[in-house]
Structure 1
Amino acid sequence: MRLFGLVWVVMVAFAANSVLNRAAVGAGLIEPVAFGVIRLWAGAVMLAGLCVVLRGGLRLGGAGRVGGVMGLLAYIFGFSYAYVALPSGLGALILFGMVQVTMFGGSLLAGDRPHLLRWLGAGMAFAGLAWLVQSPGVSLMGPKGQIGPALFMVIAGVGWGIYSLAGRKAEDALASTAANFVIAAPLALLVMGGDPGAMTRGGVVLAVVSGAVTSGLGYALWYAVLPRLEASVAAVAQLTVPLIAALGGVLFLGEALTLKFVTASVVILGGVALSVLGPRYFTRDSKGS
């Protein structure tokens, strides 16, 4: 029961990143780049502190570091810009779907030969995403050829997918995540270019909470409970994040829950579940028969 409670806390923390980001940049309390920079720095400080306490120090080297840092930067800033316009749950759903599609593509490039159910699941998730971004106000491209909010979230999803693929090489997930944040934080200042833009105290507070608490502490807690979970349980738990984010948007931001979002959630998350869990159960049944 205690383990279930910890997993639930982590999933709420992950979903809260969407609600916090949307509440801050969507309401104009802070510019997207400034939110991303502050979130990175707050996360870096929290994760570095945890590594000093729990690991006795922080090591910045390691396999997959370049891919991890670049993927993290793409995720952070794509995420921030997307929530200028996207509702919380919708953004989380696009992000989650693109992460899974990116990781599937990465496994192909690495020479893996996925099970047929993984192909079907990935195709189902991608089809759901393609249908979802055709919704009114969820455009990939904005006026005058500018990047639209949905495309920013696609970029964020690809970035987090790359980050996750790079993280497979890490021997210590918490230490690797801390190193990625610590290296990415000063690089993020280059993106800001010395001009943070408009900021309010409320926007800064939301960015700090997103970085230090729902990202930093959230990731640390997840990596602590992950070894105690079966892979299938961890995968199913993560399927709840877009739904929790949608509920948070409805409760705290007054966002609408549309029939198209619910339908797309079933298609996309169903495809992800099929891709992640299907081959496992198929193999298990084959061995048992």
Structure 2
Amino acid sequence: MLRTILLTGLAMLAFAGNSLLCRAALAGTTIDAGSFTALRLLSGALVLGLLVWLRQRGRLGGDWYSALALFGYAAAFSFAYLQLDAGSGALLLFGAVQAGMLGYGWWRGERLAGVQQLGLASAIGGLLILLLPLASAPAAGSALLMLLAGACWAVYSLRGRKTQDPLAATAGNFLRSLVALIPLLLVFRQQLQWDSLGAFYAVLSGALASGIGYAVWYAALPHLRALQAASVQLSVPIIAALAGSLLLGEALTPRLLLATLAVVGGIALVLLSKARAI
């Protein structure tokens, strides 16, 4: 149990770290979103492939569906952060993750009742607070891209619960995702540019926060219920918002704080109520 708690905690820090590294790179260096995505996935694949090889069990795991979900998440995530703060981006991302996981539960026959419905209404209201077209609202296109990233991550997480070898599966998914990079880089070939600091952030995001972080997450997932896996990710927007304020100088606006409270609190009501019913 202690091992699962430690692995889960490390994974949450890695998830928040991805938001911070991506935002720092795209806002503070000349690297573009396509190059950041490519370097992130490539460095993650190289590190994970090396770890699998060093373990002397060279057979890779994963599958194409998970790899495409990983690529969809990584690409949408990078382009969304061109105009989003770390905190608001993480809130949109993991709000969409929870919606995806709850939607999967609904499809499997689970239904919300009483306090759970109130919690869901609160979570939806929190996202609407963040997205309403006021002066401090995030750009609509970027917000939609981050919601798409969240949906892809929900698929990736749900598929990861069946993994027997987390390291091999994550390495295989990263390597397969490189195939999808080819059309992305071709489409944005006129915009590709990067500098040493931006590349460093991208490699750090790919090798450490993504590659190692996702392998750690896949190691924790088999020991978590779907609801537990969903609920622990509620910590990421809070971590990202606080770290973004401390490290990147981003504003903790009343709007973001209210939206975070409504989304995190609402989904917590859904998950805790459902957990008691199991």
Query: With structure 1 as the length reference, what TM-score do the two structures score?
Result: 0.83
2:244 aligns with 249
Distance in 2 (CA, whole Å) between partners of 1:20 and 1:179 is: 24
Aligned-residue offset at 1:267: 1.0
1:114 aligns with 111
Do 1:34 and 1:197's aligned partners in 2 also have CA atoms closer than 8 Å?
A: yes
Do 2:73 and 2:148's aligned partners in 1 also have CA atoms closer than 8 Å?
A: yes
Provide the secondary structure at the position in 2 that maps to 1:58.
coil
2:126 aligns with 128
Do 2:129 and 2:255's aligned partners in 1 also have CA atoms closer than 8 Å?
A: no
Moved more, 205-214 or 8-17: 8-17
1:176 aligns with 169
Residue deviations 1:127-147, cap 9 Å, x none? 321221115353454xxxxxx
Residue deviations 1:248-271, cap 9 Å, x none? 111111100011111111111112
1:145 aligns with none
Residue deviations 1:208-267, cap 9 Å, x none? 000000111112233445566687765554221111111111111110001111111111
Provide the secondary structure at the position in 2 that maps to 1:138.
coil
Provide the secondary structure at the position in 1 that maps to 2:111.
coil
Aligned-residue offset at 1:175: 2.6
1:73 is matched by which residue type in structure 2? F
Alignment of 1:1-289 (within 5 A): 3=3, 7-54=8-55, 56-60=57-61, 65-109=63-107, 111-116=108-113, 118-134=116-132, 135-139=134-138, 141=140, 148-193=141-186, 195=189, 197-225=192-220, 235-283=230-278
1:133 is matched by which residue type in structure 2? L
Aligned-residue offset at 1:126: 2.5
Residue deviations 1:73-119, cap 9 Å, x none? 2211111011111110110010000011122223333x322342555
Residue 12 to residue 168, structure 1, CA distance change in 2 (3 Å): closer
Aligned-residue offset at 1:120: 4.4
Do 2:87 and 2:240's aligned partners in 1 also have CA atoms closer than 8 Å?
A: yes
Distance in 1 (CA, whole Å) between partners of 2:91 and 2:241 is: 9
1:246 is matched by which residue type in structure 2? A
Query: With structure 2 as the length reference, what TM-score do the two structures score?
Result: 0.86
1:164 is matched by which residue type in structure 2? S
Residue 165 to residue 229, structure 1, CA distance change in 2 (3 Å): closer
Moved more, 207-216 or 100-109: 100-109
Structure 1 unaligned spans of 5+? 142-147, 284-289
Distance in 1 (CA, whole Å) between partners of 2:219 and 2:110 is: 31
Aligned-residue offset at 1:165: 3.0
Do 1:11 and 1:240's aligned partners in 2 also have CA atoms closer than 8 Å?
A: yes
RMSD: 2.7
Distance in 1 (CA, whole Å) between partners of 2:48 and 2:80 is: 25
Residue 70 to residue 232, structure 1, CA distance change in 2 (3 Å): closer
Distance in 1 (CA, whole Å) between partners of 2:100 and 2:8 is: 24
Do 1:100 and 1:122's aligned partners in 2 also have CA atoms closer than 8 Å?
A: no
Provide the secondary structure at the position in 2 that maps to 1:26.
helix
Do 2:64 and 2:176's aligned partners in 1 also have CA atoms closer than 8 Å?
A: no
Distance in 2 (CA, whole Å) between partners of 1:26 and 1:126 is: 29
Structure 2 unaligned spans of 5+? none
Do 2:42 and 2:178's aligned partners in 1 also have CA atoms closer than 8 Å?
A: yes
Distance in 1 (CA, whole Å) between partners of 2:33 and 2:220 is: 32
Distance in 2 (CA, whole Å) between partners of 1:37 and 1:280 is: 39
1:159 is matched by which residue type in structure 2? C
Distance in 1 (CA, whole Å) between partners of 2:258 and 2:173 is: 36
Provide the secondary structure at the position in 2 that maps to 1:114.
coil
Distance in 2 (CA, whole Å) between partners of 1:155 and 1:77 is: 10
Aligned-residue offset at 1:32: 0.2
Distance in 2 (CA, whole Å) between partners of 1:225 and 1:167 is: 10
Residue 138 to residue 46, structure 1, CA distance change in 2 (3 Å): farther
Distance in 2 (CA, whole Å) between partners of 1:125 and 1:199 is: 37
Distance in 1 (CA, whole Å) between partners of 2:203 and 2:227 is: 32
1:18 is matched by which residue type in structure 2? S
